[in-house]
Amino acid sequence: MESIEILGILEQLERDKKINKEILIEAVEAAVTSAARKLWTVDKNEDIRVVLDRKTGKLTAYAGKQEIRSNEFGRIAAQTAKQVVIQKIREAEKDVIYHEFYARVGQIISGSVYRFEKGNIIIDLMNAEAVIYKREQSPKEEYRQGDRVRALVVDVRRDNKGPRIVLSRAHVNFIKRLFELEVPEIFEGIVEIKSIARDCGERTKIAVYSKDEKVDCVGACVGMRGSRVKNIVTELQGEKIDIVPYSSDIKEYIQASLSPAEISQIQLYYDEKKANIIVADDQLSLAIGKHGQNVRLASELVSWELNLYSFDQWNSLQKELEDEAELEEDDEDEVDETDEDSDTDDAAAAEADEYSEDDEGDDGDQQKEEEGLEDEEEADSEEAEEIRDDEDIEAVEQEEDKNKE
């Protein structure tokens, strides 16, 4: 088989589908190989090989070392070759689309609304379809079929039906890319975006820093009469944007992040990354914001825990802490007094025990002395009785002597 037309067709496909010509040639060779296997019965161990000449377009098939003539190909073999070529081209086309959009992850692309599926928006990108899931949409934005949409590419996944391209308009990096497109100083790296905190559809706080002292970072982002930031607000359909200057001094950074509220005092706890902020009574609601939005976004922007108090609230809190401290001191004093009393009681008890031991010793000695006196008295009485007995005996003997006479 020899035809210069094959090369022309492959070159046309390369331009239209953006598929590498070498991939298409390999697809044709694989298709003809599959057709040849159906047409000829060959040994299982025998290899069928097809080669397409890159210059002449000549197709040559080999079964082992034997060449297979092209006029022996029939309708079935040609149909099989066609199906294989189409399948290979589709696979190559999906692969090209995947790599094209995978390289654009983190960038903004535009497309038109194609249809809606269960709250998700399907976007037509001309050569592919993308999806904006409901969680990646702004709650205040509404679209109709055919509307142009710009969104951030957040993920590209392989799927059986083709690449699954996921877009987002709620991601914080969407804001960052919009500023890069609108503010040349950010795109060139003169002004740097340090941090972004966003409540999608409501408000965004963005902290910027200028590497050049001559360039006002906030003014560059706002633009002449607010033209730059207005374009971004229009793109976000009315979402408010606060642009604050970044500072390495955390006190200044916190003050800027809570704007437009004015701060009176700040207490910083660096180890805990915590700050107690005291504001005037008329500034408290402004500092907190609607449903706590302002202080919540400011806390997220500076990555510190921010606690807001009015002067009255702060004074009440300090008084409560002082009362608690006094109660704790009183409890400690009571514990100390109890310990001293117990020590005194123990000493008295010990002294009493000593006195009781001494008394017991004295009583024992006295008892012994009394027992000794009793023994002496008994001995004396016994001697007296013996003397009486002797006197009685002598008297009896004298009386007997008298009777004998």
Report how far apart, in Å, the C-alpha atoms of 339 and of each of 275, 326, 331, 343, 345 are: 41, 20, 12, 6, 10
Res. 284: pLDDT tops 80:
yes
CA distance 275 to 254: 9
Count other C-beta atoms under 10 Å from residue 100's C-beta: 16
**191 pLDDT more than 70:** yes
Dihedral of CA atoms 40, 42, 44, 47 in degrees, nearest 10, equals -90
pLDDT, mean of residues 220-229: 92
Residue 169 is given by DSSP the state S
H or E, element range at 216: none
Q: Name the residue type at position 99.
A: H
The alpha helices in 191-242, defined as continuous H runs, are 217-222, 227-235
Mark residue 273 as left, alpha or beta (left: phi above 0; alpha: psi -120 to 50; beta: remaining).
left
Across residues 281-293, what is the average pLDDT?
A: 90
Average pLDDT, the chain: 80
Counted residue by residue, the chain has a size of 405
| DSSP string over 14-62 | HHHH---HHHHHHHHHHHHHHHHHHHS---TTSPEEEEE-TTT-BEEEE
Q: For each of the domains in the chain, give its residue range(s) and CATH number, in order of start.
A: 4-93 (3.30.1480.10), 108-168 (2.40.50.140), 171-246 (3.30.300.20)
What's the pLDDT tens digit per position in 96-140?
899 999 999 999 999 999 999 989 999 999 888 999 999 999 988
Which DSSP string corresponds to 130-166?
Answer: EEE-GGGS-TT----TT-EEEEEEEEEE--TTS-EEE
Distance CA 121, CA 117 (A): 6
Q: Crossing angle of helices 4-17/75-102, nearest 10°?
A: 30
Between CA 79 and CA 130 the distance in angstroms is 34
Q: pLDDT per residue over 242-251, tens digit each?
A: 999 999 999 9
Q: Is 18 left (phi over 0), alpha (psi -120 to 50) or beta?
A: left
Which residues make Cβ contacts (< 8 Å) with residue 98, sequence separation at least 6? 156, 158, 163
Mean pLDDT score, 323-349:
63
